[in-house]
Amino acid sequence: MNITCLFSCCAISGFFDNGKLTIEDSTHMDVSCSVMGLPINCQREQYTYDEKASINLPQINNSSDCLGHMISAFGGDPSTVDMTYDPKGDAITINVMGSQMPLTHANCAKTLDVAAVPPNRALCAKLAKEATCDANVNCTWCKCEAVPSSCFDLEDAKRVPPGVFICDKKEN
């Protein structure tokens, strides 16, 4: 299994964007993506692969595990992450937070459709200061202890876990 895959998960209503999965070696992978506009970068995530085509993440339930921590921060249960590898199709399928992401070479070869990203999300994600963010009627600053606080599009802010994120405003 030797895959470097770029993926765009538009099937998840824009929750995950600009993702990349890189299998580094027989026991480690790098995963990066943007979740609701926040960059996530988990390097050298441990994995195992068994003869049943399952990819297991043995550390995902540890509080110090990057992927497990991020999934928990967004209200998910890390223990429900399911990954499989299809050697015939040379493809990985990831099931996380109720969504399925098929990573195939054909999907990975596609370029990301930048126009699919809502314009306010792209604008808000670039606003790095709370005052600048809140000055835009379409954006709100969301504070979080688990991941860096950042600026969200109002529609995205309505979907973040309220126990994890505290957003300045929910309406424009």
Among residues 72, 90, 114, which one ends one of the domains?
114
**Does 35 reside within a domain?**
yes
- The fraction of the chain above a pLDDT of 70, given in percent, is 74
What mean pLDDT do residues 101-108 have?
Answer: 68
pTM of the model: 0.58
Determine the pLDDT at residue 105.
67
**Does 172 reside within a domain?**
no
| CA 78 – CA 39 distance, rounded (Å) | 18
Determine the pLDDT at residue 110.
54
Determine the pLDDT at residue 65.
93
Residues 41 and 98 in one domain: yes
Helix H or strand E segment including 71: helix 66-73
Range of the domain at 129: 118-167
Strand duo 16-23 + 4-7: pairing: antiparallel
